[in-house]
Amino acid sequence: MSFAAPWAWLWVLALLPVLILHFLRKKERDWPVSALFLWEGVRPDRPRFVERLRARLDLLLLLQALAVILSALALSRPEREIVRPAGPTLLVLDASASMAAEGMREKVLARAKDVLEKSTGPWAAVLWAEPPSLLFPSTADRELALSQLGRYAPRLTPRPELHRALALLPEPWPRVVVITDNPRGITGAEVVVIPRPENLGITAFSVRPSPDGVRYEAFLCVVNATSAYKDIQIRVISEAGEFWASRLVPPGEAEEVVLVLPGARAGAFVAELRPTDSFPWDNVRYFVLGGNEVATTWLGPEDRYLWAALRAGVSAYRVPENPDLFVAVSTNLPGDPPGPCLLVAAGCPGAAILGEAEPGPLSAASTSFLENLSLRDWRIGRVYRQEVPPGAQVLLWAGEIPILFLWESPSGRRAAFAVDLRRTNLPLLPDFPILIRNLLGWLLPQRPGRNVVVGEAVELPPGFSVVTELGAIQDLWVPEKPGIFRIETPRGPQWLAVNVPWETVEPEAPLVAEVPKPLPAKASVPLWPWATIAFLFVLGVEALLFFRRGG
Amino acid sequence: MGCAPGGSADRAHALELLSPEELWALSRARLSLRRARTIAPGEHLSSRAGASLEFADHRPYQPGDDLRLVDWAVYARHRKLVTKVFSREVEAPVYLLLDCSASMGLGGKFLFAKKLAAAVLFLAFRGGDRFGVYPFSVSVVGVGRPRRGRPALVRAFQELMELAPKGRTDFAQALSSWAERGWEPGLCLVLSDFFAPGFRDGLLALRYGRHAVAAVQILAPEDLSPPVLGEVRLVDAEEGRARPAVVGQAACRTYQENLRRWNQKLAHTCEELGISQFLFVSDFSPVAAALILARRWRP
C-alpha cells in the first residue's frame, strides 16, 4: 500500500489534543452506590498501572482516537497496487523487415488479439518500424480495435529506437506490450516474443569489373541461420547470362563466395539463393554498377583494386585535367586539388602524411559510412600517420591513429584513407567496394547512389525521375521494396538497386540475459473512500455513544 | 377461592409480575401468624382476648364482667373470683411497606422487591386476608385501608407495576407517621435495603402499633461484594453526594466489613424489638423468597 499524500499523516498529531482534553475533562468515571456512608473511611488503594489505565480508558476515547487515525488515513489518500492483466494497454507491433517472414503476420495478429481480449482497454497500437506510425489511436471499442489490427503489415525497413514509436502516444500508458521477434534492448515494457523462422540469406553482394575490363567479379556472403547444414545454390544473373555456384554452409555460419562473371559490359546484377525459405527478401539481392560517368584524375601510382572498387561505385573514367574527382594514391600532393579528392595513403596541404606506423586494433565511430562492413575481417598490416585537419570527422582509428577521416576544405570535399592497400586484405573483401561507394556518395553528393536500401531516401537531381508501379517520381523517392529500378536522366536511363539490409532481416540473436521479463500491468486502487466511510461510521458511533451517555 | 385472578386484565397484570408457574407454586402456601383451627375468614389467631372456643387465660374478676365467664371451680378451690379469658379469632391484615428510594433501583433490587411483594400479596389473597401496599421513601404514599379480594389484588398489582424508585429513605419519619394512623394490628413486612439511618425508630413505631413485623432486607450482589473498580467517583444513589475513591481489593474488603457491621446492627435491632429479619439477594428467586417467608416467619 502506498500513499499519495503521506504528509497527511501529520493529522495524527490531533490525537494529542484529544487525549489532553479527555484527561482534563474526566478523570474518573461515576459509579453509583446504594450507600455512600458504607464507603466512608475506606482508605484508597494504590492501584496498579493496569487498573489505573483500565480506569482511565474509555470507549469514547478509543472511538475518538480511531476516528482521528482513520481521518489521517483518508487524508493521506492510500492506494493499493494490484497486478492485473486488464487496463489501458498500448500495443507496439514490430513491423520491421524481420517480421515480414511468411506466417509471422498471422502470429503477431493472434498474439495481439489475445492481449486485446484479455484486457479491459482502452487500447492503442503503433507500428514499430522505420518510420514508426500509429495503427489506431486510443479507443475503448474492442471491436474497432480488433478490426484495426487487420491493417498491420510488416515493412521492409529496420526498426528505430523504441522510444520513437512510444512518442507517437505521449500520454502515460500503464501497460505497454511489445510483440516482436527480437526483445533485445526493450526495457520497461511487457514483451511477447514470437520466434522467427529459420533463415538462409545473402548478407552482401557487390560486383566489380576486373581491371582489364573483360569480366566481372561478384562478391557474395551467404549465411546459414538454421540449425542444419545447408547446401546452398547461388545464381548470379547479369545481362551476359547466369552463373552458378554452390556451397555447403554449416549451421550458424557465413560463407563468402567470389564468382567470376565473364562477359561484356553489364550494369545490373541479381544474386539469388536456392532453396528459398520463408523470408524471400534476403534470398535475392540486387546490385547495379555506377551509371554516372565520373571523370577521374588519378594522382600517384596505379592501384587496380582501388580502380575496380571505384568502378563498382561509379562509372569512372580517366581524364588528365578538370575531373569530377581526384584520386591520390601513395603520394603527398604539393597543392590542394580543386574539387573532391579521395586520398588513399596520400597527403595534401593540411593533411600531410607524417610517416608509417604499426596499426592498433580498429575502432569505429558510429556512422553510416561504415554500415554493413565487417571490420573484424579486416587485416591491416601498415597504416600512415597523417595530419588531421581541424574540423575533420574521424570515422576509423587503428589504435590511436586516425586512418579514415573526412573534411571540407575550401577547394572541395576530402576523404583520407591512411592505409597501405598493398598490406591489407581489403581488396579481397566485399567491404572494400562498399566502403569506397559510401565515401564517393559523400564526395559526390549530387549523384544518387546506385545501391540503396529499402526506406532510404533517394534525392533525385533536377531532371531525374524514377519509374515505379505508381508512376514516375521526382525530387525525393523512398523505395518500399527491393528490386532494380529504372531512373530516367537527361543523359539516358540508369539503374538503381534497392535491397533489404541483412541486419534488418536477421537482427542479432537476442541474448537470453537481456530478455526483459514481462512487466506486470499495475493499477492503483484508491482506498481513501473506504477509509472515509470507516471514519464516518466511527464518528457516528462515537456521537451515538456520546449522546446516550447524556452528552 | 380461585387459584389465580379471573379476568383477562387482571391476569395480564398478574402475569407481568408473576408467571403462571410461580402463581401455582404460591397457591399452596399460607402466610399466617399461627395455624388456626377454623376455616372461617380470618385464619389468624389474635393475641387480643375475645370470644371464641379456645381458652386463653384467667384474669381477676372486675365488676361488670360477664358472670358466665367466672370460673367457679377456681373460686371453689381458692376463694378468688377469676374470669376466664378466651382467644378471639381475628383476621390479621397484611401490610406491605415497600422502600421506593433511589438506592433500591440499583442492582435489580426494586424489581425483586416488587415481585416479592406481589408474591406475598398473592399469599394474602389466597388466605382470604386483607392486604395493602404502602410504598415509602421520605413518607408513605399509600393511605388506603387494606382490602380483601380479587379487585384489591388487581389494584395492588397495578400499583406495584407503576412504582419507580426515586428519592431518599427516611425510615423514622415514614414508618412512624404511617404507624400513627392507628392501623389495625397485622402482619407488617418492610421491604428495603435498610441502607438508611433511623430504621430502628421506624421499626419501633411499627412495634408500638402492635404489628407483627418482618424486616426483609434486599441487597444486590454488588452491594455484598463490589467489583474492583479502580479509580472511580462513588456517587450516592439517594443523596447524590460523590466521593472519589480508588477501589481495589483492600477497599472492597473494608467496605464488606462496614456492611457486615451495619447488618449486625440491623440484626440486633430486630432481635431487640422482636422482629423477624430476612436477607435476600436480588438475583434470588422472588417466589422462593416468598415461600421462605411463609414457611419461616413465625411472629
**A163 has a chain B CB within 8 A of its CB:** no
Of residues A74 and B2, the one with the higher pLDDT is: A74
Whether A56 sits inside 8 A of B231 (CB atoms) is: yes
Residue A83's pLDDT band (cuts 50, 70, 90): low
**A49 has a chain B CB within 8 A of its CB:** no
Of residues A284 and B7, the one with the higher pLDDT is: A284
**Average pLDDT of the segment spanning A101-120:** 87
CA distances from A387 to A343, A346, A397, B2 (A): 12, 11, 13, 140
**A51 has a chain B CB within 8 A of its CB:** yes
Distance CA A531, CA A69 (A): 10
Predicted confidence at residue B189, as pLDDT, reads 93
User: Which H or E run includes A466?
Assistant: strand A465-468
Q: Which of residues 56-115 of A touch B (CB under 8 A)?
A: 56
Count other Cβ atoms within 10 Å, centred on residue B149: 12
Contact A231, A248 (CB under 8 A): yes
**Average pLDDT of the segment spanning A224-239:** 88
**B167 has a chain A CB within 8 A of its CB:** no
CB-CB neighbors (< 8 A) of B261 in chain A: none
Predicted confidence at residue B246, as pLDDT, reads 78
Lowest mean pLDDT among A88-97, A104-113, A114-123: A114-123
Nearest to B190 by CA among B129, B254, B279: B279
Do β-strands A284-288 and A268-274 pair in parallel, antiparallel, or remain unpaired? antiparallel
**A54 has a chain B CB within 8 A of its CB:** yes
Predicted confidence at residue A42, as pLDDT, reads 75
CB-CB neighbors (< 8 A) of B196 in chain A: 35
Whether A31 sits inside 8 A of B262 (CB atoms) is: no
Nearest chain B residue to A44 by CA: give it. B246
**A55 has a chain B CB within 8 A of its CB:** yes
Nearest to B166 by CA among B143, B137, B190, B145: B137
**SS3 (DSSP) at A124:** strand
CB-CB neighbors (< 8 A) of A55 in chain B: 229-232
pLDDT digits (tens, 9 = 90+) for A391-429: 999 999 999 999 999 999 988 899 999 999 889 998 888
**DSSP state, residue A263:** S
**B255 has a chain A CB within 8 A of its CB:** yes
Closest by Cβ to A33, choosing from B231, B236, B244:
B236
Distance CA A18, CA A72 (A): 14
Nearest chain A residue to B110 by CA: give it. A34
Considering chain A, what percentage of its residues have pLDDT values greater than 70? Answer: 89
pLDDT over 50 (residue A324): yes
CB-CB neighbors (< 8 A) of A52 in chain B: 230-231
**Cβ pairs A/B, distance under 8 A:** 102
**B206 has a chain A CB within 8 A of its CB:** no
Whether A43 sits inside 8 A of B250 (CB atoms) is: yes
Distance CA A481, CA A280 (A): 12
Helix and strand counts by DSSP (H, E) for chain A: 10, 33
Predicted confidence at residue A387, as pLDDT, reads 92
Query: Reading across the β-sheet that carries A199-209, which strands appear in turn?
Result: A199-209, A215-225, A254-262
Distance CA A372, CA A152 (A): 28
Residue A159's pLDDT band (cuts 50, 70, 90): confident
CB-CB neighbors (< 8 A) of A32 in chain B: 106, 234-237
CB-based contacts of A257-260 (< 8 A; 24+ apart in sequence): A257/A218, A257/A219, A257/A220, A257/A221, A257/A222, A258/A217, A258/A218, A258/A219, A258/A220, A259/A217, A259/A218, A259/A220, A259/A234, A260/A215, A260/A216, A260/A217, A260/A218
Whether B231 sits inside 8 A of A47 (CB atoms) is: yes
Predicted confidence at residue A515, as pLDDT, reads 46
Q: What is the 3-state secondary structure (H, E, C) of B16-54?
A: HHCCHHHHHHHCCCCCCCCCCCCCCCCCCEEEEECCCCC
Closest by Cβ to B243, choosing from A36, A51, A54:
A36
Distance CA A515, CA A178 (A): 12
Of residues B6 and A63, the one with the higher pLDDT is: A63
pLDDT digits (tens, 9 = 90+) for A466-514: 888 888 888 888 888 888 888 887 767 878 888 887 776 665 554 444 4
Nearest to B96 by CA among B119, B66, B71: B119
Contact A362, A332 (CB under 8 A): no
Predicted confidence at residue B266, as pLDDT, reads 94
CB-CB neighbors (< 8 A) of A30 in chain B: 232-233, 235, 242
Nearest to B281 by CA among B106, B22, B96, B20: B106
Q: Would you state the cell numbers that stand for residue A220, as one nine-digit string?
A: 557474395
Residue type at A474 in one-letter notation: Q
Q: Is A238 exposed, middle or buried (0-12, 13-18, 19+ CB in 10 A)?
A: buried
C-alpha distance from A40 to closest chain B C-alpha (Å): 9
Whether B231 sits inside 8 A of A35 (CB atoms) is: no
Whether B230 sits inside 8 A of A35 (CB atoms) is: no
Q: Concatenated DSSP letters for A41-52?
A: TPPPP---HHHH
Closest by Cβ to B229, choosing from A27, A31, A43:
A31
Q: Would you state the cell numbers that stand for residue A333, as one nine-digit string?
A: 600532393
**B107 has a chain A CB within 8 A of its CB:** yes
Contact A535, A78 (CB under 8 A): no
Beta bridge partners, A472, equal A467
Predicted confidence at residue A328, as pLDDT, reads 94
Beta bridge partners, A209, equal A216
Cβ neighbours of residue A150 under 8 Å, at least 6 residues apart?
A: A109
The vertex-A360 CA angle with A355 and A366, nearest 5°, equals: 105
Distance CA B290, CA B119 (A): 6
Nearest chain A residue to B250 by CA: give it. A45
Closest by Cβ to B237, choosing from A32, A44, A45:
A32
pLDDT over 70 (residue A288): yes
C-alpha distance from A42 to closest chain B C-alpha (Å): 6
CA distances from A14 to A65, A530, A544 (A): 9, 21, 22
Nearest chain A residue to B257 by CA: give it. A38
Residue type at A408 in one-letter notation: E
**A52 has a chain B CB within 8 A of its CB:** yes
Predicted confidence at residue A290, as pLDDT, reads 61
**B262 has a chain A CB within 8 A of its CB:** yes
**B237 has a chain A CB within 8 A of its CB:** yes
Mean pLDDT, chain A, as a whole number?
A: 83
**DSSP state, residue B139:** S
Predicted confidence at residue A511, as pLDDT, reads 43
Closest by Cβ to B243, choosing from A39, A51, A54:
A39
Cβ neighbours of residue B63 under 8 Å, at least 6 residues apart?
A: none
pLDDT digits (tens, 9 = 90+) for A130-154: 889 999 998 988 889 999 999 998 8
Cβ neighbours of residue A382 under 8 Å, at least 6 residues apart?
A: A356, A357, A358, A359, A419, A420, A423
Predicted confidence at residue B113, as pLDDT, reads 94
C-alpha distance from A539 to closest chain B C-alpha (Å): 27
CA distances from A225 to A1, A279, A535 (A): 49, 12, 66
Residue A449's pLDDT band (cuts 50, 70, 90): low
Using left for φ > 0, alpha for ψ between -120 and 50, and beta otherwise, residue A154 falls in beta
CB-CB neighbors (< 8 A) of B103 in chain A: 34-35
Contact B51, B136 (CB under 8 A): no
ipTM over 0.90? The verdict is no
Cβ neighbours of residue A29 under 8 Å, at least 6 residues apart?
A: A55, A58, B232, B233
Distance CA B103, CA B241 (A): 13
CA distances from B185 to B27, B90, B205, B225, B264 (A): 25, 10, 12, 38, 28
Predicted confidence at residue A39, as pLDDT, reads 86
Nearest chain B residue to A30 by CA: give it. B233
Predicted confidence at residue A506, as pLDDT, reads 63
Whether B248 sits inside 8 A of A51 (CB atoms) is: yes
Backbone φ and ψ of A261, nearest 5° = -110, 100
**A44 has a chain B CB within 8 A of its CB:** yes
**DSSP state, residue A198:** P
Predicted confidence at residue B42, as pLDDT, reads 47
Per-residue pLDDT of chain B (299 residues; tens, 9 = 90+): 333 334 455 555 555 778 888 888 888 777 765 443 333 444 454 444 444 456 667 888 888 888 888 888 899 998 888 988 775 555 688 999 999 999 999 999 999 999 999 999 998 888 888 899 999 998 888 778 898 888 998 889 988 988 999 988 898 899 999 988 888 888 999 999 999 888 999 999 999 888 899 999 999 999 998 887 777 888 998 888 888 887 878 888 889 999 999 999 999 999 999 899 999 999 999 999 999 988 888 76
Q: What is the pTM of this model?
A: 0.41
